[in-house]
Amino acid sequence: MGRLDGKVAVITGAASGIGRGTAIRFAGEGAAVVIADLNVEGGEAAVRDCKEHGGRAVFQKTNVESEADIKGAIDRAVREFGKLTTIFNNAGLGGAVGTIEETTSENWDRTLAILLRAVFLGMKYSAPEMRKAGGGSIISTASVAGLAGGRGPHAYSAAKAAVINLTRSVALELGKDRIRVNCICPGLINTPLVNRRIPGGEQTVAQMMSNIQPIPRVGYPDDIANMALFLASDESEWVTGQAMVVDGGLTAGGRIFDQQARPPINVPNNFAGPSFENLPPDPQTKR
């Protein structure tokens, strides 16, 4: 018996990183999964990974900036697997970076569209389907950057703080329907969203971030997938409205790089886009 037997989940941003790790974990625990992502190649590979772990999965090309695409991913779950019990609003990006004066309104708006508006839409369209199913679990990716200043760029931090309070607000509304609403606040996680933009990639990030939090290693997608699994399972049926911090102890007293000590990051036009987007050549690695 898997911990998610009979569950049907939509996971946005599931072609790589936290989303992909969670999709594989969900599939291995018995859930049917809709991989919702813009990255076709990565999404189809994630489907294969889910099936290799004994689960059922389909890919749905999804741009979370599009209301129709988010609704389409939820409709695909119901059409393909008969119902929806879980959504993981996970798709993300670094978004607008730089000082407040350098931040353009266009970059600000796109950051919030992907990190906040998409979460709202995932909640909006999943709620009626979960009500039909007799209940469910809405999970969203927030961040420790939403809990305190200095842990992320301005727009990113603002969006993640809003996700935390939106989670609480919607949990109050949907509790009567046995729909749980929670979010996860990851700490420093070694994913393509981070390591593709830092010279030296995954290995450099692992070394650089290993001693920032009390537990002396960087976080990995599986660390977040484990929490998402708990929140998606019936084990969490009395947990709602919570921001679950998974950060190796960072918020308990870890240290964060100051701006001057941060490593060089490859961010064209002051906007860190999706992890699969092509980047300009890195002069340090000659790639």
State residue 285's pLDDT score: 37
Spatial neighbors of 85 by CB under 8 A, at least 6 apart, are 6, 7, 8, 9, 130, 133, 135, 136, 137, 232
Nearest to 277 by CA among 12, 10, 15, 11: 15
Sheet with 136-141: list strands edge to edge: 56-61, 32-37, 8-12, 86-89, 136-141, 179-186, 243-246
Q: Is 125 in the active site?
A: no
Q: Across the strands, what pairs with 60?
A: 36
Domains and CATH numbers, the chain: 8-271 (3.40.50.720)
State residue 276's pLDDT score: 64
Provide block-wise average pLDDT over 10 residues at a time, the chain (287 residues): 96 96 98 98 97 96 98 98 98 93 96 98 98 98 93 92 98 98 95 66 76 90 97 98 96 62 58 64 39
Side chain identity at residue 47, one-letter code: V
Catalytically annotated residue among 59, 88, 108, 156: 156
State residue 275's pLDDT score: 62
Side chain identity at residue 271, one-letter code: F
Q: Are 141 and 18 in contact (CB under 8 A)?
A: yes
State residue 287's pLDDT score: 29
CA distance 188 to 144: 9
